[in-house]
Amino acid sequence: MKQKILVTGGAGFIGGNFIHYMVNKYPDYFIINLDALTYAGNLGTCEAVEEKSNYKFIKGDITNREFIFDLFEREAFDMVVNFAAESHVDRSVADPEIFIKTNVLGTQVLMDASRTFGVKRYHQVSTDEVYGDLPLNRPDLLFKEDTPLHTSSPYSASKASADLLVLAYHRTFGLPITISRCSNNYGPYHFPEKLIPLMISRALNDEALPVYGNGENVRDWLHVYDHCTAIDLILHKGRIGEVYNIGGNNERTNLEVVQTILKALNKPESLITYVKDRPGHDLRYAIDSTKLKTELGWEPTYNFETGIKQTIEWYLENKKWWENIISGDYKNYFKEQYGDQS
């Protein structure tokens, strides 16, 4: 059946990859990409699908209620997939307010419009960070869908607040929702303020690689393509009202990640510089995706070795995309964030 799908935040990293995936996989669907083009949004990310007849870009802010209601009335969406967010933990430490506005209030506006105009599925893209962190010395512990929410940063608190609102809109108003909570993504079009693209771009320029604390914090890495296939399955087969965890089963310390990148690029480990730790820094994330696998049959296609190789190749072949980004405002951000330590 034909579907008209609103994808918010589609000029960002994961939303952009999802746009590519959906536009190509479902030529019968119509995909509308709504993005405010904040510092993290980049239309270059969607260049390859720009001319497709089943795709349209609209610039707009999810917190602008009047604009969003007009858009929903005009377009009559079947589904909404909400990626739009402020997504960087360090920025939420520096300035929390915009995180509450976009991530919490923006979600509410989208759900109010979805209720009013009869959207058949509202999907909220959430994160494993809502569960807080796990100790380093308990590899047996994993986040499950019923693990209590226990957040550390203004970013994760804003995402958990949004999740609670989404669940409340389902219970109170019967809004047909699903939520996915994913571990750390990596892959093409990843903004170079985040660990993996930051380290690749700086190593290629022979610049210092800022590792927070002692580099022992652990993240569970999932290639962004596998995140897209999971959301696709949840949209089409997931049960209304349910939360699904998505994880890569690829736990690595930050130091291991940086060393892998240096080795692949044939760069020396002397580039590694230990810098001041992130305040409230979560120790370890690890996701149990059993529900998604057994209920919906999801399996990731990449492991960390194949995924990081593909990602590094992409950054080598698409220098123009990230060099454009690191030449602008990004320079001021980098100076403020890392100061003299870099």
Q: Which is nearer to ligand DAU, 30 or 83 (CB)?
A: 83
- Say whether residue 330 binds ligand DAU (CB under 6 A): no
Please confirm, yes or no, whether 129 is among the known catalytic residues.
yes
- Say whether residue 185 binds ligand NAD (CB under 6 A): yes
């760069």: which residue's tokens?
267
Question: Hey, which residues does 48 pair with through a beta bridge?
Answer: none
**Residues 8/34, Cβ–Cβ less than 8 Å:** yes
Expressed in angstroms, the distance from the first to the final Cα of the chain is 53
Please confirm, yes or no, whether 155 is among the known catalytic residues.
yes
Please confirm, yes or no, whether 131 is among the known catalytic residues.
no
**Residues 82/74, Cβ–Cβ less than 8 Å:** no
- Among 20-28, 82-90, 109-117, 305-313, the segment contacting ligand NAD (CB under 6 A): 82-90
Give the residue among 147, 132, 20 at the shortest CA–CA distance from 83. 20
Q: Which residue is nearest to ligand DAU (CB)?
A: 127
Q: Which is nearer to ligand DAU, 32 or 251 (CB)?
A: 251
- Among 25-33, 61-69, 115-123, 135-143, the segment contacting ligand NAD (CB under 6 A): 61-69
- Say whether residue 87 binds ligand DAU (CB under 6 A): yes
Among 29, 67, 212, 333, binds ligand DAU (CB under 6 A): 212
Among 72, 189, 221, 285, binds ligand DAU (CB under 6 A): 285
Q: Phi and psi for 335 in degrees, rounded to 5?
A: -65, -45
Burial of 322 (0-12, 13-18, 19+ CB in 10 A): buried
Give the residue among 3, 24, 27 at the shortest CA–CA distance from 228. 24
Residues with catalytic function: 128-129, 155
By the criterion CB under 6 A, which residues form the site for ligand DAU? Answer: 87-89, 127-129, 183-184, 194-195, 198, 210-212, 217, 219, 254, 278, 285
